[in-house]
């Protein structure tokens, strides 16, 4: 009877935990979707969504289907503004959580899977709030891998067909994800591990490529009907040009180097952290020495154990900081450290389930997919392991499940069998305490990573209480300094627009690309003028082309700081000096000459922006724009 009561209490407790985790998975991304206004990356995505059909020559087609999806969403829910795209991102995260839970919950444990998914949600939301091609890419990769998992374990070719369909979509959503073809290795993995016949391999591979081909024909039809084939091909050619160049961030040499060494560095930090765990458990084992041991020996063990624990503590700190954080806004060593830690745990899990008597090949398959997902997420990116935070959806659940498995008595017995060969006996309490210390130290760093990122806005959440006066930003909050700076610009541009019957275009020099969307103005040249991949020669060509198309000169907004570093008072002077010293590969001098040649005047200025207009609509005679652009 007592056992029955305990079982009922356990089931009730598990149900409560599951409800809490499910609530967190849904509510956390929904609540954070209202806070923080990013003017840079969000602006790039908004520009692509709003201009994919109206101005295709100024839009990147390497993420074509993502832009089409964003455009369709805005057509349906444009009244929600940019927050509507944040909502789409939340819906996508909930969908990912649902399919992962349904697919893996049985094998990994429902609570463990939900806990891992919650970690994935927290990590994923350190990236942009808005719907974007990086997170859409992960969503589609998850669908591919889940379909392949179901196809393999249930031997259903229909799932392989859908995996092929999603493969084509993901390639059209982010061109770099053509690397997802390596997921076909999963069929080979199962064929070898489960000793399947060759027909299994041929059936599923054939279904996968049939789905790929079928969806490829559909996508080609969409491009032909929309008349955008030429733009698509031109962008692909440009992509190959960047990849084949000997220098630059997107050269193949740099991409391979970043990909390989970024992951190896991450794995190294994970090994250091887990080796600290081994040292820690040995130290606690000596501290908790048996009372039957001679008193002198006990004292020695305790003292030596304390020293050992101290060494382990240093290792824990060193593991997190061994790889320096890139000098990017709101960037920590967290992404590299945690993916490295999860990699190592997952490697051990795969090895165990392939070779242990009670191992499950299904879990080993999940482990292989868990390794593949983050690798494919960052493949083709020049930012190393930065975007792995979007790809914890498989690897966090299997890592949590592995840690839970270590707490079982049978696991302790197995560990002691191995340790006894070295004359070491590890108590259960020492193992539990070690796991507790590892979880607390890792958890502290994890939440530090979460706190340090806030959609490129202030990390002081209490300061995000102000609104930018624009319908596209309703429901969303930012700091007073950012709101005041942007409101002043929008009001000035609005006043200038009223002074000419012909529709003016806009040129933004700097990172605040969202200003195109907020002003509802067309870009005079490419929207991101200061982009390193937008050469001085190409900028000159685009200016000449724009002048041939219209005599009306653009309204110009010059960004005095790098908006990715926020609108805080404490770093303002540093940002001003940094921007003045940045020549943008010669484009700033070209830009200054253009302003002087066209006789531009300063119409409005605040701490962060300068708005300028040409003769005809300008009211001011102030010309000293160079004072705000260059160091004295």
Please tell me the predicted confidence (pLDDT) of residue 255: 66
Q: What count of other Cβ atoms lies within 10 Å of the Cβ of residue 280?
A: 25
Give the chain's end-to-end CA distance (angstroms, integer): 85
Give the 3-state secondary structure of 17-86: HHHHHHHHHHHHHHHHCCECCCCCHHHHHHHHHHHCCCCHHHCCHHHHHHHHHHHHHHHHHHHHCHHHHH
Tokens of 287: 């501290």
Tens of pLDDT, residue by residue over 2-17, are: 565 656 666 778 899 9
Burial 447-473 (b: 16+ CB within 10 A, else e): eebbeebbbbbbbeeebbeeebebebb
Please tell me the predicted confidence (pLDDT) of residue 263: 84
- The rounded Cα 259 to chain-centroid distance in angstroms is 15
Tens of pLDDT, residue by residue over 603-625, are: 999 999 999 999 888 888 888 89
Q: Which helix (H) or strand (E) holds 509?
A: strand 506-509
Mean of pLDDT values over 126-139:
95
The CA distances from residue 187 to 160, 170, 184, 194, 375, in Å, are: 10, 19, 6, 11, 18
The pTM (predicted TM-score) of the whole model is: 0.92
Mean of pLDDT values over 277-285:
87
Residue 282 CA to residue 275 CA, distance in Å, equals 11
Say what percent of the chain tops pLDDT 90.
68
Residue 607 CA to residue 3 CA, distance in Å, equals 69
Q: What count of other Cβ atoms lies within 10 Å of the Cβ of residue 523?
A: 22
556 within 8 A of 609, measured Cβ to Cβ: no
Mean of pLDDT values over 495-522:
88
Please tell me the predicted confidence (pLDDT) of residue 203: 96
Mean of pLDDT values over 103-109:
96
SS3 content of the chain, % helix, strand, coil (to 5): 70, 5, 25
Please tell me the predicted confidence (pLDDT) of residue 406: 83
Residue 185 CA to residue 208 CA, distance in Å, equals 12
Please tell me the predicted confidence (pLDDT) of residue 2: 56
Residue 316 CA to residue 107 CA, distance in Å, equals 31
42 within 8 A of 130, measured Cβ to Cβ: yes
Tens of pLDDT, residue by residue over 166-199, are: 999 999 999 889 999 999 999 999 999 999 999 9
* pLDDT above 80 (res 207): yes
Mean of pLDDT values over 142-168:
98
* pLDDT above 70 (res 578): yes
Please tell me the predicted confidence (pLDDT) of residue 478: 97
Question: In this structure, is the dihedral angle defined by the CA atoms of residues 220, 224, 225 and 228, taken in order, positive or negative?
Answer: positive
Residue 135 CA to residue 123 CA, distance in Å, equals 12
82 within 8 A of 476, measured Cβ to Cβ: yes
Residues ≥6 apart with Cβ < 8 Å to 519: 490, 493, 494, 497, 506
Give me the helix-helix angle, 198-226 and 64-77, nearest 10°: 60
| Strand ordering across the sheet containing 506-509 | 506-509, 555-559, 609-613, 601-605
* pLDDT above 70 (res 249): no
* pLDDT above 90 (res 390): yes
Q: Which helix (H) or strand (E) holds 560?
A: none
Residue 182 CA to residue 205 CA, distance in Å, equals 12
* pLDDT above 60 (res 150): yes
Residue 208 CA to residue 201 CA, distance in Å, equals 11
Mean of pLDDT values over 332-347:
92
- Give residue 244's pLDDT band: very low, low, confident or very high (50, 70, 90): low
Residue 45 CA to residue 77 CA, distance in Å, equals 16
Tens of pLDDT, residue by residue over 411-459, are: 677 777 766 665 667 777 888 899 899 999 999 999 999 998 887 888 8
Strands 555-559 and 506-509: parallel
Tens of pLDDT, residue by residue over 67-101, are: 999 999 999 999 999 999 999 999 999 999 999 99
Please tell me the predicted confidence (pLDDT) of residue 12: 77
* pLDDT above 60 (res 481): yes
Q: Which helix (H) or strand (E) holds 506?
A: strand 506-509
143 within 8 A of 165, measured Cβ to Cβ: no
- Give residue 502's pLDDT band: very low, low, confident or very high (50, 70, 90): low
Please tell me the predicted confidence (pLDDT) of residue 423: 60
Please tell me the predicted confidence (pLDDT) of residue 156: 96
Please tell me the predicted confidence (pLDDT) of residue 523: 96
52 within 8 A of 71, measured Cβ to Cβ: yes
**CA nearest to 373, candidates 402, 348, 398, 352:** 398
Alpha helices for 379-427 (secondary structure H): 395-406, 409-419
User: 3-class SS at 594?
Assistant: helix
Q: Which helix (H) or strand (E) holds 564?
A: none
The CA distances from residue 469 to 128, 129, 465, 567, in Å, are: 21, 20, 13, 17
Tens of pLDDT, residue by residue over 16-29, are: 999 999 999 999 99
Strands 609-613 and 555-559: antiparallel
Report the chain's C-alpha Rg in angstroms: 28
110 within 8 A of 129, measured Cβ to Cβ: no
**CA nearest to 215, candidates 157, 159, 172, 155:** 172
Average model confidence (pLDDT) across the chain: 90
Tokens of 67: 């832009």
Please tell me the predicted confidence (pLDDT) of residue 431: 83
């Amino acid at each position: 009877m007592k056992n029955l009561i305990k079982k009922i209490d356990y089931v009730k407790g598990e149900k409560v935990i599951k409800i809490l985790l499910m609530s967190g998975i849904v509510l956390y991304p929904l609540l954070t979707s209202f806070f923080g206004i990013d003017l840079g990356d969000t602006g790039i995505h908004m520009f692509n969504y709003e201009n994919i059909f109206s101005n295709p020559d100024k839009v990147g087609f390497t993420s074509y289907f993502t832009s089409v999806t964003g455009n369709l969403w805005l057509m349906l829910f444009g009244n929600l503004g940019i927050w509507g795209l944040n909502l789409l991102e939340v819906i996508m995260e909930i969908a990912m959580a649902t399919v992962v839970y349904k697919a893996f919950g049985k094998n990994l444990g429902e609570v463990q899977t939900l806990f891992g998914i919650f970690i994935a949600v927290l990590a994923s939301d350190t990236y942009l709030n808005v719907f974007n091609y990086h997170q859409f890419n992960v969503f589609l990769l998850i669908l591919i891998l889940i379909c392949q998992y179901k196809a393999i374990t249930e031997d259903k070719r229909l799932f392989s067909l859908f995996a092929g369909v999603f493969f084509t979509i993901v390639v059209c959503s982010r061109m770099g994800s053509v690397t997802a073809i390596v997921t076909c290795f999963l069929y080979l993995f199962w064929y070898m591990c489960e000793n399947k016949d060759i027909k299994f391999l041929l059936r599923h591979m054939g279904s996968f490529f049939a789905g790929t081909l079928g969806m490829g024909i559909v996508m080609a039809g969409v491009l032909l009907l929309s008349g955008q084939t030429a733009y698509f091909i031109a962008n692909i050619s440009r992509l190959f040009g960047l990849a084949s160049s000997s220098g630059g961030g997107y050269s193949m040499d740099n991409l391979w180097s970043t990909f390989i060494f970024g992951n190896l560095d991450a794995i190294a930090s994970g090994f250091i952290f887990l080796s600290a765990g081994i040292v820690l458990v040995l130290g606690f084992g000596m501290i908790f020495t048996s009372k039957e041991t001679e008193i002198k020996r006990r004292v020695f063990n305790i003292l030596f154990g304390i020293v050992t624990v101290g060494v382990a503590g240093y290792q824990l700190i060193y593991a997190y900081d061994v790889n320096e954080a890139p000098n990017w806004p709101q960037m920590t060593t967290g992404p590299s450290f945690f993916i490295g830690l999860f990699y190592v745990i997952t490697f051990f899990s795969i090895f165990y389930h392939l070779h242990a008597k009670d191992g499950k090949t299904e879990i080993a398959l999940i482990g292989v997919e868990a390794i593949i997902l983050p690798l494919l997420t960052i493949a083709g990116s020049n930012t190393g392991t930065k975007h792995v935070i979007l790809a914890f959806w498989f690897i966090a659940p299997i890592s949590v499940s592995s840690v839970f498995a270590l707490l079982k008595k049978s696991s302790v017995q197995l560990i002691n069998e191995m340790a006894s060969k070295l004359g070491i006996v590890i108590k259960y309490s020492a193992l539990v305490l070690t796991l507790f210390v590892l979880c607390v130290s890792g958890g502290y760093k994890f939440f530090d990573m979460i706190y340090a990122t806030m959609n490129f806005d202030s990390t002081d959440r209490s300061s995000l209480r102000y609104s930018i006066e624009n319908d596209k930003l309703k429901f969303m909050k930012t700091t007073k300094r950012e709101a005041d700076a942007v409101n002043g610009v929008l009001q000035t541009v609005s006043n200038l627009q009223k002074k000419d019957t012909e529709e003016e275009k806009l040129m933004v020099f700097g990172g605040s690309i969202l200003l195109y969307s907020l002003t509802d103005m067309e870009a005079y040249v490419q929207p991101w003028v200061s982009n390193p991949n937008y050469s001085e020669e190409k900028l000159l060509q685009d200016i000449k082309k724009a002048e041939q198309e219209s005599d009306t000169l653009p309204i110009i907004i010059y960004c005095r700081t790098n908006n990715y570093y926020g609108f805080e008072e404490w770093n303002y002077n540093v940002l001003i000096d940094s921007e003045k010293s940045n020549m943008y590969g010669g484009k700033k001098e070209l830009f200054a000459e253009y302003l002087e040649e066209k006789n531009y005047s300063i119409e409005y200025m605040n701490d962060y922006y300068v708005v300028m207009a040409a003769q005809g609509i300008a009211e001011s005679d102030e010309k000293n724009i160079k004072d705000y652009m260059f160091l004295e």
